[in-house]
Amino acid sequence: MLVSEVMLQQTQVSRVTEYYPRFLDRFGSIEALARARGSAVREAWEGLGYYARARNLHRLAKEVAGVGGQVPDDPAELIKLPGVGRYTAGAVACFAYEKPVAAVDTNVARVLRRVFFGEQGAGSGRRRAGSKSRNGRTATAPRSVLPMIWQLAESIVPKNGETAWKFNQAVMELGATVCVARKPKCAQCPVVRDCKTGRK
């Protein structure tokens, strides 16, 4: 799970599906990745670009292997690891461990902004916000808005882990397929009646 999330930073899913199985075949465990030479990790990553991710993943594996080999399930601990940001920490905690935590990628940020704040209410500017999504895109909500969106996401995520997993996946899917960036399909949206943007 962690490997796929790191690969998906700045890279489209279609590219990752080529590399992910090969990478896991070569480094089948945290310990195997930690023991590998840096040159071997770079070779396995060759073609995915953004090679700092490979270096960070290798450093992360060494850190985790050095304390028992178990990737933490707490976002506050995950975010301390090399190359792990707020989204990745939430995604790993929720999707790998079914922790009831938020995971705000580009799609989730867009859905929450449109539904709860409206296109103008929470800033519809396109400045880069530095929060990487699973599809490699950068969240486009203004930086000043992201803390509000994260706070909202944390307040509405279900408290049951399995339900939180489904909820986070559903909101991501809604943003990826219906509440898309350029031409949202509001007529197909299941929450249009409650959406400050869609109602207009």
Asked if residue 3 lies in contact with residue 30, where contact means CB atoms within 8 angstroms, the answer is no
Reduced to 3 states (helix: H, G, I; strand: E, B; else coil), residue 8 is helix
Q: Retrieve residue 181's tokens.
A: 């960036």
Reduced to 3 states (helix: H, G, I; strand: E, B; else coil), residue 132 is strand
Specify whether 31 is catalytic.
no
48 contacts: CB under 8 Å, gap ≥ 6: 7, 11, 15, 16, 19, 54
Distance (Å, whole) CA 19 – CA 71: 21
Rg, C-alpha atoms of the chain: 18
Question: Which has the closest alpha carbon to 1: 77, 120, 84?
Answer: 84
| Active-site residue, from 5, 31, 46, 119 | 5
Distance (Å, whole) CA 25 – CA 3: 12
Which residue in this structure is represented by tokens 């945290």? 30
Catalytic residue positions?
5
